[in-house]
Amino acid sequence: MNDELIVCTNVSKRFPLPGAKGEFTALSDVSLTVRRGEVLALLGRSGSGKSTLLRIMAGLIPPSSGTVLSSGQPVVEANNDVAMVFQSFALLPWLTVLDNVEIGLKARSVPRASRARRALKAIDMVGLDGFEGAYPKELSGGMKQRVGCARAMVIEPKVLFMDEPFSALDVLTAENLRGEIDDLWNSGDFPSRSILLVTHNIEEAVILADRVLVLGSNPGHVRGEVRIDLPRPHDRTDRRFKDIVEHLYAVMTNPDLDVAAATPAELQAKSPFSRPLPHVRIGGLSGLLELLDETPNDTEDVAHLADRLAVTADDLLAILEAATLLGFADLAGGQVRLTDLGRKFATASILESKPLFRDQLLARLPIFVSIVRTLSERRNRSMPADFFIDIWDEYFPREEAQQQFNTAVDWGRYAELFEYDSGDGLLHLHEDADDPSHFSE
């Protein structure tokens, strides 16, 4: 009981819709506890109500129903147990770094002399020693967020709330600052007893948190909890780290997957990476479809196909598998038949065939949705190839994992979803590939 700092019980939040058109439910029946000594991450997609939940716990807005206790007391107005770091930094541009950091202390009527002393210490702690007199516009994004951290940490709140604190920063800056926060936490000198971190970045959650609560959407609710039971600092190269990342990855891409119950076997069955792609070039696939299109009734005996296409039996099987996987052909009783979609693909110009192909990849092969989502969640829209190959590696021998990657890249490139650049070793999202209209939840 004693280690419970903040306890939400059955918290719901409804907002009135504009024009008195009823209500919108942002949060439904959320119960959670922030415990002393832990870093708790709330992981959820945009719109799952993460910021709303933080605001309710901070006492900035009331819940529509349910209760929030902080240090055992009901939260009725601004909760003095917490201070917040915002994604947008939220610094006052007309104040210096020192004055920005002192603001919260002033609001809490801390005497002037100890205000300055505490603020300088916090500024030092975030590595901004020497910048006390600078104005926000003179600082880089990373430095601004350091001020944002100092301003919250100087209050020494019991719980530090961080709402996507690194997502407005470039990847390297985010990585640095995340690492420093982690170091400070692990050193035991952190000025708060707990951290509540909101993020939609899976790896960030697993690096920093001891426990991850996965939020679902429509309306926002808690899907379940994943414990990060690893020694701190969490080692990304640890096999278990990768397992947890992958577990969360599967959970985030499968709204129906039970967060707690997913066993390795279930994950194996559910992970889009566990289903092998047949190694087929787009040319081979179009070859089959065009040939069927020219065949009477668009139907041919499988037995005749290998000869007509001049491919080996193995290659033919792979091509047939690709064609059926993508919905371009049906296979029954030793006969292959072109589907309407297959005919459309076979007769389309290259320009027309690409979107058709892309739609089929995203609708029928979850692996492509996963890859596109992962890339679009990165600020620089890219990710090292090894990240993906390592996941395939869990399911296939190394060489096959590499082959799976190659095939996915080949198909993804044709579909204009992503490109692999062997120069930087990164998979890059194609422009517009994360247009939300591509996805159905």
Ligand X SMILES: Nc1ncnc2c1ncn2[C@@H]1O[C@H](COP(=O)(O)OP(=O)(O)OP(=O)(O)O)[C@@H](O)[C@H]1O
Any contact of residue 51 with Mg ion (CB under 5 A)?
yes
Q: Which is nearer to ligand X, 56 or 316 (CB)?
A: 56
Query: Binding segment for Mg ion among 43-51, 312-320, 349-357, 379-387 (CB under 5 A)?
Result: 43-51
CB-wise, 51 or 339, nearer to Mg ion? Answer: 51
Query: CA triplet 103, 105, 106: central angle to 5 degrees?
Result: 65
Q: What minimum distance in Å lies between the beta carbon of 117 and Mg ion?
A: 34
Single out the segment in contact with ligand X by CB under 6 A; choices: 43-51, 275-283, 292-300, 386-394: 43-51
Which candidate, 352, 360, 375, places its Cα nearest to that of 432? 375
56: exposed, middle or buried (C-beta count within 10 Å: 0-12, 13-18, 19+)?
buried
382 binds Mg ion (CB under 5 A): no
Gyration radius from the chain CA atoms: 26
Question: DSSP letter string over 297-332?
Answer: GGEEEHHHHHHHHT--HHHHHHHHHHHHHTTSEEEE
Helices and strands per DSSP (H, E), number in the chain: 16, 16
Stretch that binds Mg ion, among 48-56, 152-160, 251-259, 421-429 (CB under 5 A): 48-56
Name the residue number minimizing CB distance to Mg ion: 51
Q: Please state, in angstroms and rounded to a whole number, the distance separating the CA atoms of residues 63 and 55.
A: 9
Closest CA to 259 of 4, 77, 425, 44: 44
| Nearest approach, Cβ of residue 87 and ligand X (Å) | 7
Nearer to Mg ion, 166 or 328 (CB): 166
DSSP per-residue codes, 256-286: TS-TTT--HHHHHHH-GGGSPPP---HHHHH
Tell me whether residue 48 or residue 353 sits nearer to ligand X (CB atom).
48
Q: How many CB atoms lie within 10 A of CB 170?
A: 13
Nearest Cα residue to 386 out of 424, 343, 439? 424
12 binds ligand X (CB under 6 A): no
Which residues, 20 to 39, sit near ligand X by CB under 6 A?
Answer: 24, 26
Shortest distance, position 354 Cβ to Mg ion, whole Å: 35
Per partner kind, with CB cut-offs from 5 to 8 A, the member of Mg ion, ligand X, none near residue 287 is none
- Binding partner selected for residue 127 from ligand X, Mg ion, none, CB under the kind-specific 5 to 8 Å limit: none
**What does the alpha-carbon distance between residue 148 and residue 363 come to, in Å, rounded to a whole number?**
42
Q: Name the nearest CA neighbour of 56 among 47, 46, 48, 68.
A: 68
Q: With CB under 6 A as the contact rule, which of the stretches 40-48, 225-233, 236-244, 285-293 interacts with ligand X?
A: 40-48
Nearer to ligand X, 221 or 438 (CB): 221
Tell me how far, at minimum, the Cβ of 317 lies from ligand X, in Å.
44
Other beta carbons within 10 Å of 40: 24
Nearest distance from residue 197's CB to Mg ion, in Å? 12
Specify whether the CB–CB gap between 66 and 30 falls below 8 A: yes
Site track for ligand X across 44-63, x = CB under 6 A: x-xxxxxxx-----------
Nearer to ligand X, 198 or 326 (CB): 198
Nearer to ligand X, 201 or 286 (CB): 201
Q: Is 94 in the site for ligand X (CB under 6 A)?
A: no
Q: Report, in Å, the least distance between residue 51 CB and Mg ion.
A: 3
Least separation in angstroms between residue 162's CB and ligand X is 12
Instruction: Please report how close the Cβ of residue 104 comes to ligand X at its closest, in angstroms.
Output: 22
What's the min distance (Å) between Cβ of 244 and ligand X? Answer: 21
Taking the C-alpha atoms of residue 115 and residue 70, their distance in angstroms, rounded to an integer, is 25
Task: Establish how many alpha carbons lie within 13 A of residue 242's alpha carbon, considering only the half-sphere containing its beta carbon.
Answer: 12
* Cis ω before 136 (30° cut-off from 0): no
Indicate which of Mg ion, ligand X, none lies near residue 404 (CB less than 5 to 8 Å, by partner kind): none
Could you list the residues that contact ligand X (CB under 6 A)? 15, 24, 26, 44, 46-52, 200
Could you list the residues that contact Mg ion (CB under 5 A)? 51
